[in-house]
Amino acid sequence: MSALPNKAEPTPAPPAVMRSAVTLPAFPDMTPARWTVTSALVALAAGIPLVMTNQYALSVMVTTLILLVLNISWNFVLGVAGVWNFGQLAIYALGGYGAGIIMLHTTVSPWLAVLAGGVVGTLAAVLLAFPTLRLYGIYTSLLTFAFAVVIQYVIVNDGSGLTGGTFGLPIVKGLYSSLSLAASARAYYWTALAVVVASTIVLAAVGHSRLGIALRGVRDAPAYAAARGVSPMRYRVIAFAVSGFLAGIAGGLYVSYNQSISPSAMGLTPMSIDVTMLVIGGLGTATGPIIGTILLAIVQTSLVSHPGAELTILGIFLLVVVVFVPDGLAGLAARYWRRISAWAAEDDQSGEAAGPGEAAEIPEGSPDPNVA
């Protein structure tokens, strides 16, 4: 796997000279053809609830999409920014609790409550970011990992009634409490899908912006980036904030859809599953979380009656992928895609030469001298 994806990868390098007047292309990898395919896929995904009559399957899909929002947020801080943050599930859960408590005790619109979840997530993430600022890689993961466990522990042992302890919040009214069960499931599906699409697009654009280039610069060559005037600390806080906001929104959606949240949403088990999804998909790529989350959700659903076997198999998957496919399935797919397009280009000289590959992969950037 690579928290820091292959640096040797030939990349659509940013132009050598970049004055501040020059605008960066937001999606350098996306050819019109790719936009078409992507739009078609999104439209297809959006059509599923119209034909899907199996309520159980639909609920699994909604849950998966909400999880995907969380995983996209985590991928940003872990893969793109390269900060070894293992506290993301706690941030997500805090966002969920924040939104849930507002839904429970106030009469404001549940949409505002979900947004408030995002704000809580941002605050929690920024607060977590500060003590990690001076820490070096593995210490960051230890501290944030411990943070997640401690937050869960505190909530489990909370006797004040605010969080409901082990049992979680009492039933809250979600976004679509006025709709019928089937209609609300569809509505949640489209809502979560919209958030997934929006966050993928926004984060991919951010990845190609000065901010994204600076983040990867800090990740791959901290000393060089610092010498270029990119403040690693400032960018780390920004990365935490961005990903914390999205994680908080995911938490808000979760509490709204499940009408409750309990500490089991953030334990070691869900964390193991999410890490596995990210790593198998390919950390630091835009498509990785999508591939990994959907694939493992399918595996998980088919093994749902054997809780022990399920995680054992995921563990074996994780080991095998890390050892044999260091850049995850997205990386593997990109490599094969490149090989095929190179072969096609060779075969068919008149055909447009293959692009730089990496379907929607956020490209590696060398630290840009002008970012600061």
Give 13 or 309: the residue with its C-beta nearer to other proteins.
Answer: 309
CB atoms within 10 A of CB 194: 13
Give 198 or 268: the residue with its C-beta nearer to other proteins.
Answer: 268
Least spacing, CB of residue 88 vs other proteins, in Å: 14
**Looking at residue 364, what DSSP letter applies?**
P
Are 95 and 253 in contact by the 8 Å Cβ rule? The answer is: no
CA Rg value for the chain: 21
Dist CA 332 CA 360 (whole Å): 13
Least spacing, CB of residue 265 vs other proteins, in Å: 17
Give 32 or 159: the residue with its C-beta nearer to other proteins.
Answer: 159
Q: Which two tokens stand for residue 21?
A: 């007047």
Least spacing, CB of residue 269 vs other proteins, in Å: 9
Least spacing, CB of residue 149 vs other proteins, in Å: 5
Q: Which of 42, 33, 80, 26 is nearest to 355 (CA)?
A: 33
Least spacing, CB of residue 7 vs other proteins, in Å: 8
Question: What are the φ/ψ torsions at residue 313 (nearest 5 degrees)?
Answer: -65, -40
Least spacing, CB of residue 128 vs other proteins, in Å: 10
Give 147 or 176: the residue with its C-beta nearer to other proteins.
Answer: 147
Least spacing, CB of residue 268 vs other proteins, in Å: 6
Give 3 or 48: the residue with its C-beta nearer to other proteins.
Answer: 3
The residue ranges of DSSP E strands in the chain, in sequence order, are none
Give 148 or 291: the residue with its C-beta nearer to other proteins.
Answer: 148
Give the DSSP H/E element, type plus range, for residue 236.
helix 232-258
Q: Which residues contact 255 (CB under 8 A, 6 or more apart)?
A: 96, 97, 99, 100, 103, 117, 169, 172, 174, 261
Dist CA 302 CA 298 (whole Å): 6
Give 146 or 183: the residue with its C-beta nearer to other proteins.
Answer: 146
Give 175 or 275: the residue with its C-beta nearer to other proteins.
Answer: 275
Q: Which of 329, 344, 365, 295 is nearest to 80 (CA)?
A: 365
Q: Which residues are near other proteins by CB under 8 A? A: 1-4, 84, 131, 134-139, 141-143, 145-147, 149-150, 153-154, 157, 159, 220, 268, 272, 275-276, 279, 306-312, 314-316, 318-319, 322-323, 326
Give 26 or 143: the residue with its C-beta nearer to other proteins.
Answer: 143
Q: Could you tell me how many helices (H) and strands (E) the chain has, helices first?
A: 13, 0
**Which amino acid, 284?**
G
According to the 3-state scheme, what is the secondary structure of 241-261? HHHHHHHHHHHHHHHHHHCCC
Least spacing, CB of residue 116 vs other proteins, in Å: 24
Q: Which two tokens stand for residue 359?
A: 């379907």
Dist CA 266 CA 272 (whole Å): 10
Dist CA 66 CA 60 (whole Å): 10
Least spacing, CB of residue 230 vs other proteins, in Å: 17
